[in-house]
Chains A and B, each alone.
Chain A
Amino acid sequence: MSNSTEDNRFDFEIRKKYERHALSPDDNMWEKIYARLAMHSSIHVLHKIRNLKIAVIITTTAFIGTLLYYEISISGKHNQNIVLSKKNRIKERPSTLHRNILREQNKFNLKKSYQSTDTTHLFTTPPGLIPKRHEAGKGVMQTQNHILTNTQTGNSSKIKRRPKALKNLPVSSVAREAALSSKENLILQGKEQSKSTINKKRNKIKETKQEREKLQTIPPRLLYTEHHKPMNIIFSAKTTPLDHIVSAKKSFSSKLLNPLNANYSPVLGRRYSLTFYICPTYSYRSLADNRAFSTPPYDKSYFNDRDQGDISYAAGALFTYSFRPKIRLESGVYYFNYTYDFKTQATYVNVDQGYNWFYTSAGILNFHAYLSDTLLQNALLKSKMKFSYLSIPLHAEYDFSPSIFMNIGMNISFLIGKDLQMQAIDYTGDFDFQAGDIQHLHSYNLNIIIGLGFRQAINKNMSFIINPAFRASLTTLNDQATVKSYPYTVGLSAGLRYYF
């Protein structure tokens, strides 16, 4: 008893001696600490840079998207230029109109007919009759010169030398009559044509007329135009209807029928497709304090200082159904995961007491380390959390153009696995050990996804797709965590779409 009192007195005296004891450090001690602090800060900045992965992915995505967009639009313009330049092959000579033909011009109100939105008007254009460049808007007609010349020389074979674009087009009866009567008048005006030749020509023309009237009953149809809008042609004073007809036909064919064209879209007219894709993503989470379970200091700011996003991936197959020309619905199945790291300073973890735990933003993580009792004390603990999901999506796709589309939708994801690893970094070195479990994780998760896609045809059945997308969770990982954790990913998926 007296021994205990003695000890207490001794302890008291020692404690009293050191109660206010202080030692002055060296003058340069602060400089040393400050230098090391600066070094730590620069390392910290480097760690922060790793957080910029997301920015890098977004920038890369935007860059690729921009490149693709310009590539597509420039190549499209290039093709269009080619089409427009081809029209110049149909040369127009200076207007020398025949008076008899001029009489027929008033029968046509070109402005009215050519401004119609019905594509069938394209095929009712009288061959060889086009408006003057400067009078096209006024509905004044003019005969194309080469036809005149042909009829004047009486060379019937040359009558067929109409522009190829008009060659196979059906001709209305009025237009045909106009052409016919003009030609007859020309002949009757004392040219060197014999009556038999004229009759032959008339017969031929009549036969042609009958054939074309038959053809006229068949509705005009182009491949892949079932979803296409009717063409709206408005003539300008600088272009002739013929130019428009030719360029329109050529551009139709080049846009829709040429698979090598950048604007070629096999989607048009294809209702079903199947897409396989793989998608590297950057995954992280956003946090909100959970008032029900929050136990300071394990709040939002605590985890925001310690968590770090990581690279994960997604892969899957989607079936697409096109129920509108530009709108598709897709569903299927795919796998994706969320991965992120958590770092904290361990404070004297006692590993002899069985399972230990520490707070993470996903919930409390249990672990058991079969290590010597002192190693974890004051070590830096790092845990890698990977949550795997199998997801069933329902997305809608909308086409901005044959090459660019937007997708938006929701998916329900089922937790199929969680991989938790822990690493302790101590003065003695790094060592890994198996983590236990995070309890009370949601077995399913609701997500929204929004993305912008770029499509490039490979052949008539397949196209290559790049789809930068953002996926965010609407539900928390764990309701009983001290913070509400909403994972999200930003990814760039690449895949192949097969149309059938």
Chain B
Amino acid sequence: MAVKDKELKRIVEGCKKGNPGDQKELYHRFAPYMLSICNRYARNIMDAEDIFQEGFLKVYANIHQLKRVEAVMWWMKRIFVNEALSFYQKQPDLYRLDNIPEEKGDLTEEETPVSKISTEEMTLMIQNLPNKMRMVFNMYVIEGYTHQEISDLLGISVGTSKSNLHDARKILQMKIRQFEYQKNTDNNI
């Protein structure tokens, strides 16, 4: 672990000096995780790649601000999340809440079969959420932001944030049920 930390420190120091070799190494080390984050926040993989590129440019431009090398992963995650948020904020036509699906299946209090769904299918469901709902869901559930932080970052009230999270959960749970139902039907046929 200590060796890894040393190597990471060397890479970060190299990036601070603008060394292309170290920049490439940092990219290869963290790119898969960061692309995963971008993919969750984006509506599709193309948007995700755009966010991903911008995010890495920001990482290289601001890496000299990084003081604690061991926190590089957390620091980069924040940059990519911020980048994803700003990506959709600059597209006001997409920044609406009026495209919530009407269909609402019976949501029972049974156990949600999340584990039965692959991560790719789950990601697809999250991507299909409305923008603000998706942001709130990702930030609260996966990144662990509080509602207060979300309200500060997205410029919405705490109540709106809670409401969006609740709606996002409902939609996702419904979609998971639908997906399960569809899967069972296909198997029976």
> A: which residues have CB within 8 A of B?
2-3, 6-7, 9-11, 13-15, 17-18, 21-26, 29-30, 32-34, 36-37, 40-41, 296-297, 301-302, 305, 345, 347-348, 350, 352, 372-374, 377-378, 426-428
Contacts and interface: CB of A to CB of B under 8 A. Distances in A.
A-B pairs, top 6 by smallest CB distance, nearest first, are A22-B32, A373-B155, A13-B114, A23-B35, A427-B90, A378-B86
Contact of A18 (B18, B36, B56, B153): B36
A17 B18 CA distance: 35
B18 to A, nearest CB: 7
A374 B89 contact: yes
Interface of B: 18, 20, 23-24, 27-28, 31-33, 35-36, 39-40, 49, 52-53, 56-57, 60-62, 64-65, 67, 82-83, 85-86, 89-90, 109, 111-112, 114-115, 119, 122, 140-142, 144, 152-155, 169, 172-173
A168 B53 CA distance: 93
A46 to B, nearest CB: 15
Contacts of A10: 112, 114, 169, 172-173
Nearest to A372: B155
B154 to A, nearest CB: 8
Contacts of A305: 64
A7 B109 CA distance: 10
Given A29-B49, A377-B89, A6 B119 contact: no
A410 to B, nearest CB: 37
Contacts, number: 111
Contacts of A21: 33, 36, 119
8 contacts: A6-B109, A13-B112, A17-B119, A30-B24, A30-B28, A41-B18, A352-B155, A378-B85
Nearest to B122: A17
A7 B137 CA distance: 12
A10 B40 CA distance: 17
Contacts of A427: 86, 90
A388 to B, nearest CB: 32
Contacts of A297: 65, 67
B85 A23 contact: no
A30 B34 CA distance: 13
Given A374-B89, A377-B85, A36 B24 contact: no
A296 B32 CA distance: 31
B52 A374 contact: no
B57 A14 contact: no
Nearest to A7: B169
A296 B67 contact: yes
A251 B123 CA distance: 95
Contacts of A25: 31-32, 35, 49, 52
B62 A345 contact: yes
A350 B18 CA distance: 32
A60 to B, nearest CB: 31
A377 B67 CA distance: 23
B36 A22 contact: yes
Given A2-B109, A22-B33, A427-B86, A15 B142 contact: yes
Given A13-B114, A17-B114, A33 B122 contact: no
B23 A37 contact: yes
B82 A378 contact: yes
A58 to B, nearest CB: 27
A7 B49 CA distance: 31
A439 B100 CA distance: 49
A36 B53 contact: yes
Contacts of B85: 377-378
A33 B49 contact: no
Contact of B53 (A13, A18, A29, A378): A29
A18 B114 CA distance: 12
Contacts of A3: 109
* Best-buried of B20, B140, B141 by chain A (most CB within 10 Å): B141
Given A24-B32, A372-B155, A378-B85, 9 more contacts: A10-B172, A14-B172, A18-B40, A21-B33, A21-B36, A25-B35, A29-B52, A377-B155, A378-B86
Contact of B142 (A2, A7, A18): A18
B41 to A, nearest CB: 12
A350 B152 contact: yes
Contacts of B86: 377-378, 427
Contacts of A34: 20, 23-24
A362 to B, nearest CB: 20
Contacts of A6: 109, 112
Contacts of B64: 301, 305
A10 B62 CA distance: 36
* Best-buried of A3, A18, A296, A426 by chain B (most CB within 10 Å): A18
B15 to A, nearest CB: 11
A377 B153 contact: yes
Contact of B27 (A11, A15, A30, A350): A30
B37 to A, nearest CB: 9
Contacts of B28: 30
A178 B187 CA distance: 145
Contact of A22 (B35, B53, B114, B115): B35
Contacts of A9: 111-112
Nearest to B67: A297
Contacts of B27: 30, 33
Contacts of B20: 34
B160 to A, nearest CB: 12
A471 B86 CA distance: 44
A426 B85 CA distance: 13
A296 B90 CA distance: 32
Contacts of A2: 109
Contacts of B152: 348, 350
Nearest to A10: B112
